[in-house]
Amino acid sequence: MTQNAAADGRMPPKEPLRDWIARTLEAALAPTRLEVVDESHLHAGHAGSREGGETHYRVDVVSEAFAGKSRVERHRLVNGLLEEAFRRGLHALAVRAKAPGEA
């Protein structure tokens, strides 16, 4: 990993997308629970899928950062944090974002 990629949140070229997503969300949201699941194999042959996968993910995250936010605000926050992944080929992201006590 290059120093710049680590410092500014960019995805290092060889890092698995699942690892980058987890690292990015952990750093920004300090979650009490985080699960990142690659569901690309479930979408093989569908729009947006490509050989090698890493196109469809599910994220279950519990964080105090979501307290007082609507579902739309929570999803926008997560999607914004993962903007680089979408630029790099992430096609779909299913998000379940909860505040502590809601999970």
Q: Is 77 helix (H, G, I), strand (E, B) or coil?
A: helix
The predicted pLDDT at position 47 comes to 56
Q: How far apart are CA 54 and CA 85, in angstroms?
A: 10
C-alpha 58, offset from chain centre: 8
- Is residue 97 assigned to a domain? yes
Q: What is the pTM of this model?
A: 0.79
87: domain CATH number is 3.30.300.90
Q: Is 79 helix (H, G, I), strand (E, B) or coil?
A: helix
pLDDT at 101 over 90: yes
Tokens of 103: 């999970």
Q: Which residues span the domain enclosing 102?
A: 33-103
- Is residue 17 assigned to a domain? no
The predicted pLDDT at position 25 comes to 98
Farthest-apart Cα atoms in the chain, separation: 40
More confident position, 16 or 76 = 76
